Amino acid sequence: MARIEGEPGGASAPVFAVAAEDALDLTAADVEVIPPAIVAQSLGQYLRAWTARLRGGDAGVLPVALALVAVVVVFTIVSKNHVFLSAGNLVNLFDQSAVFIVLAIGEGFVLLLGEIDLSIGYVAAIGGIVAAQLVQPSTNWPWWAAIIAALVVCGAIGGLQGLVITRLRIPAFIVTLAGYLMWFGVMIYMLGAAGGVGITSTLWAGQVGLYGIVYSYIDPLVAWIGLIAIVGVLGTIMWRRDAGRRRNGLVAPPMGLTMAKIALVAVAGIAVVAICNVNRGSYLPIVGVPWVVPLVLIVVGTWTILLERMQFGRHIYAVGGNPEAARRAGINVPRLRTICFVIGSMTAGVAGVIYCSTLGGMTTNINGGQLVLYAVAAAVIGGTSLSGGRGRAIHGLLGGLVIGAIYNGLYLLGLEIQWQLIITGLVLLAAVSVDSLSRK
Amino acid sequence: MDVVAAQDGPTGRMPTPGSATAVAPAASEPLLRLRGISKHFGAVQALHGVDLDLPNAQVTALCGDNGAGKSVLTKCIAGIHAVDEGEIFWEGRQVHIASPKDSAALGIETVYQDLALADNLDIVQNMFLGRERLSRALLDEDSMERAAAETLASLHVTTVRSIRQPVATLSGGQRQAVAVAKAVMWNSKLVMLDEPTAALGVAQTRMVLDLILRLKDHGLAVMVISHNLNDVFEVADRVAVLRLGRMVAQDAISAFDRQSVVDFMTTGASSREVPGSGSSHERD
């Protein structure tokens, strides 16, 4: 250890002058590269800066929003009786998307580092199988304990792969490719001769709970009250933060933008709850928001806070942007990378549990390879960069919805497997092209 | 007092030992005083018994040809390399710098040539990287933004449009300014800049040189590694010349002219007499 004589700090502090805010004038050269939210002071200026930036090639979440609209319009037109846009199908679409969303968010932690994890499809499958097997009559665990066990197992897998990657300095691509094969094998081994495990029995509380993630619903009134509470709390936090920053002369979005954001959250929430509260049953009424919706929102919210409001998240972005700068800033880069692999795999475990619930069990037919490609595609379509340092949890949500909509739409059209594969490939290619073009 | 471990000079070109008394008459006790610093990597002796004084409120230019040991010396002070031999005095007290943390704790900050900024983070985020302020486990963005703005204002860095713009959108000079501001934020007393004007245009260079003078005005000791003698003669109060791992000359800027610095860098000696300067060059 070092021995330092003399005390640090205590230097004569320079006399500070408070920065005078320069008058705002939007010259074309600047607005093309600087996010409009930090230079505009009114909603009008924001929109002008935003369009200029758009023309400069940096589109933010616009491509994914357009892609979502395009997919919805196309499938609504081509699907029989426009069934794509029916309440029943939209809820079904979200159930299917939930897996891609959560998996994409998990993959996002690794993509932020500029790495890739090819194994998370089968890691998710193992998470689903662990949860499913623990709620079988022989063990009969409660559903929540089974889920926690699944997450612990998945986290351990991620930690193992992360340690091999960071300590032995083997590229993540290779290690997780090996993991892809190994966990595929382990999955088949765990499912045994039966080749599957079901959770649809109503005799066992654990199975009812696990199956109920997707197939039990929140009472409509409770959903509305919950929505009001969420929008109220979120809106208050957003409003107070932005207003406080404006008051203190700090960089803040214009008031109109803050209001627009809160309104967007409210409208989206109302739309989701309203759609879910339409009766979508054929014989018996089926009404309400499936529990998977708040579950996905919790994943998005938790990881957003971690990434954007906490020191650890800030360090993830720094490592993704410039690992050497992060190292010199005193960040333990190998440790951080390992933790990101743990978080990625744990999040994949959540996706696996949701998948298990959606399917009513797990079988050896699960295609973890396709899942991981969908996850990468979803993250990249959402706006996450493959080269690291850029990406948010919300990107996984939006990208996952696009992928889910494509998946759902092709299924409605009754397209055969070869077309699904071809379209998956094209979608992945398109996503990576968007990423590559946006960096030019 | 300042006895340096005897080193074998590289044959007759060395000037006869000059007076080993304090170099800068203004500062009786320099902020950082190195005595007899040696460092080798395997069979390669990178530094031979180097002496260096870095006084407060003065800019010291460290000159030398490629391979002279400038970077190694800087990294020894920054704690990246541990010295093999020699003594380091900080404000008159002997210290041991074994890691970058030690040097940071003393108040030494280094701005490397590659600047070590994360392009995807904004100015505030870069300036506080690794030392983020927290309030209740969450990042305290407001307080960090205010402090960063104050530091930039005190350095008269006003050309950036917004303190929240990603560093990727800044010009070379602005990036250098952010890196320097990052270095002085932490009550640092000594800032070392590695080739701060390399790869900058004329206007950007001007801006960085002004910034260096402002650091000096704030009372900081500044060490600038530079190949560019124009820059050296513009901002430096003192010049130290390394050659093949030895300190061949170290004195006030008035004791040098461009040609003599080049002579010292290339041959280790200079026969030129600088008009109006009575001081003799210090060696080893």
Print pLDDT tens along chain A (440 aa): 344 433 333 333 333 333 333 333 334 344 445 666 666 667 777 777 777 666 555 556 777 888 889 889 999 999 888 899 999 999 999 999 999 999 999 999 999 999 999 999 999 999 999 999 999 999 989 999 999 999 999 999 999 999 999 999 999 999 999 999 999 999 999 999 888 999 988 888 999 999 999 999 999 999 999 999 999 999 999 999 989 888 888 888 888 888 988 999 999 999 999 999 998 888 888 899 999 999 999 999 999 999 999 999 999 999 999 999 998 888 999 999 999 999 999 999 999 999 999 999 999 999 888 899 889 989 988 888 888 998 999 999 999 999 899 888 988 888 887 887 788 778 778 777 876 776 55
Secondary structure letter of residue B166 according to DSSP: B
3-class DSSP assignment, residue A125? helix
Cβ-based contacts under 8 A for chains A and B: 155
Cα of B38 to nearest chain A Cα, Å: 19
Do the bridges between strand B221-225 and strand B134-135 make them parallel or antiparallel, or are there none, so unpaired?
Answer: unpaired
- Look up residue B223 and give its amino acid: M
3-class DSSP assignment, residue B59? strand
Q: Under an 8 A CB cutoff, do B93 and A5 touch? A: yes
3-class DSSP assignment, residue A254? coil
Q: Which helix (H) or strand (E) holds A358?
A: helix A333-359
Cβ-count burial of B250 within 10 angstroms (0-12 exposed, 13-18 middle, 19+ buried)? Answer: buried
Domains of chain A in start order, with CATH, are: 59-216+291-431 (1.10.3470), 218-290 (no CATH)
Q: The tokens 């250890």 sit on which residue? A: A1
pLDDT of residue A381: 86
Q: Which helix (H) or strand (E) holds B241?
A: strand B238-243
Say if CB B223 and CB B193 are below 8 A apart.
yes
Other Cβ atoms less than 10 A from the Cβ of A8: the count is 18
pLDDT of residue B25: 42
- Spatial strand order in the sheet of B32-41: B44-54, B32-41, B85-90, B93-95
Secondary structure letter of residue A24 according to DSSP: P
Cβ-count burial of A353 within 10 angstroms (0-12 exposed, 13-18 middle, 19+ buried)? Answer: buried
Which of residues 132 through 191 in chain B touch A, CB cutoff 8 A? Answer: 132, 134, 137-139, 142, 145-146, 149-154, 158, 161-166, 168-169, 184, 187-189
Pick among A322, A335, A386, A440 to test the B interface (most B CBs inside 10 A):
A322
Cα of B142 to nearest chain A Cα, Å: 7
- Look up residue A362 and give its amino acid: M
Alpha carbon of residue B72 to chain centroid:
12
Q: Under an 8 A CB cutoff, do A5 and B94 touch? A: yes
Residues of chain A found within 8 Å of residue B130, distances taken between Cβ atoms:
315, 318, 326, 329-331
Q: Under an 8 A CB cutoff, do B189 and A330 touch? A: no
Q: Under an 8 A CB cutoff, do B165 and A35 touch? A: yes
Nearest CA in chain A to B143: A250
Nearest CA in chain B to A323: B118
Q: Under an 8 A CB cutoff, do A322 and B100 touch? A: no
pLDDT of residue A13: 35
Q: Under an 8 A CB cutoff, do B107 and A39 touch? A: no
Say if CB A111 and CB A375 are below 8 A apart.
no
Residues of chain B found within 8 Å of residue A35, distances taken between Cβ atoms:
164-166
Which pair of tokens denotes residue A139? 């063990």
Task: Return d(Cα A251, Cα A272) in angstroms, integer.
Answer: 33
Hey, which residues does A196 pair with through a beta bridge? A363
Partner residue opposite B187 with nearest CB, options A10, A18, A310: A10
3-class DSSP assignment, residue B64? strand
Residues of chain A found within 8 Å of residue B94, distances taken between Cβ atoms:
5
Please enumerate in sequence order all residues whose Cβ is within 8 A of that of A79, keeping only pairs 6 or more positions apart, or say none: A409, A412, A413
Say if CB A230 and CB A293 are below 8 A apart.
no
Say if A28 is an interface residue toward chain B (CB within 8 Å).
no
Say if CB A336 and CB A94 are below 8 A apart.
no
Say if CB A127 and CB A352 are below 8 A apart.
yes
Partner residue opposite B98 with nearest CB, options A2, A9, A311: A2
Report DSSP letters for A302-353, one per residue: HHHHHHHHSHHHHHHHHHHH-HHHHHHTT--HHHHHHHHHHHHHHHHHHHHH
Task: Return d(Cα B181, Cα B57) in angstroms, integer.
Answer: 17
Say if CB B128 and CB B166 are below 8 A apart.
no
Say if A320 is an interface residue toward chain B (CB within 8 Å).
yes
Which pair of tokens denotes residue A370? 């396709």
Task: Return d(Cα A358, Cα A412) in angstroms, integer.
Answer: 17
Which pair of tokens denotes residue A391? 């990406």
Q: Under an 8 A CB cutoff, do B106 and A18 touch? A: no
Partner residue opposite A250 with nearest CB, options B93, B142, B154: B142
Secondary structure letter of residue B156 according to DSSP: T
Task: Return d(Cα A363, Cα A375) in angstroms, integer.
Answer: 20
Q: Which helix (H) or strand (E) holds B150?
A: helix B141-154
Q: Under an 8 A CB cutoff, do A328 and B102 touch? A: no
Which of residues 92 through 111 in chain B touch A, CB cutoff 8 A? Answer: 93-102, 104-107
pLDDT of residue A415: 83
Give phi and psi for A288, each to the nearest 5: 125, 165
pLDDT of residue B274: 59
Please enumerate in sequence order all residues whose Cβ is within 8 A of that of A233, keeping only pairs 6 or more positions apart, or say none: none
Other Cβ atoms less than 10 A from the Cβ of A240: the count is 11
Secondary structure letter of residue A138 according to DSSP: T
| Tens digits of pLDDT across chain B (284 residues) | 333 333 433 333 333 333 333 344 444 688 999 999 999 998 888 999 999 999 999 999 999 888 888 989 999 998 888 899 999 999 989 999 988 888 888 999 988 888 889 999 999 999 999 889 999 899 999 999 999 998 888 888 877 878 888 888 888 888 888 988 888 887 789 999 998 888 788 888 888 898 899 889 988 999 999 888 888 999 999 999 999 989 998 999 888 888 889 889 888 887 766 554 444 444 44
Say if CB A143 and CB A135 are below 8 A apart.
yes
CA distances from B111 to B56, B89, B104, B198 (A): 18, 21, 12, 13
Q: Is the sign of the CA dihedral A31, A34, A40, A44 positive or negative? A: positive
Nearest CA in chain B to A245: B142
Say if CB B91 and CB A6 are below 8 A apart.
yes
Nearest CA in chain A to B97: A2
Count CA within 13 A, CB hemisphere, residue B224. 31
Residues of chain B found within 8 Å of residue A305, distances taken between Cβ atoms:
138
Q: Under an 8 A CB cutoff, do B142 and A244 touch? A: yes
Q: Under an 8 A CB cutoff, do A16 and B139 touch? A: no
CA A310, A315, A319 angle in degrees (round to 5)?
Answer: 155
Say if B279 is an interface residue toward chain A (CB within 8 Å).
no
Residues of chain B found within 8 Å of residue A243, distances taken between Cβ atoms:
none
What's the fold here for domain B27-115+187-267? Rossmann fold (3.40.50)
Q: Under an 8 A CB cutoff, do A314 and B164 touch? A: no
Task: Return d(Cα B147, Cα A19) in angstroms, integer.
Answer: 10
Which pair of tokens denotes residue B134? 């927290």
Say if CB B86 and CB B262 are below 8 A apart.
no
Which of residues 188 through 217 in chain B touch A, CB cutoff 8 A? Answer: 188-189
3-class DSSP assignment, residue A201? coil
Q: Under an 8 A CB cutoff, do B187 and A9 touch? A: yes
- Look up residue A393 and give its amino acid: A
Do the bridges between strand A217-218 and strand A289-290 make them parallel or antiparallel, or are there none, so unpaired?
Answer: antiparallel
Q: At what angle do helices A143-167 and A205-215 cross, to 10 degrees?
A: 70
Which pair of tokens denotes residue B18? 């000059």
Report DSSP letters for B96-144, one per residue: ---SHHHHHHHTEEEE-TTTT--TTSBHHHHHTTTS--EETTEE-HHHH
- For chain A, what percentages of helix, strand and coil (3-state, to nearest 5) are there? 70, 0, 30
Give phi and psi for B113, each to the nearest 5: -60, -35
Pick among A7, A16, A302 to test the B interface (most B CBs inside 10 A):
A16
Pick among B161, B189, B218 to test the A interface (most A CBs inside 10 A):
B161
Q: The tokens 């203190």 sit on which residue? A: A248
Q: Under an 8 A CB cutoff, do A16 and B100 touch? A: no
Cα of B170 to nearest chain A Cα, Å: 10
- Look up residue A413 and give its amino acid: L
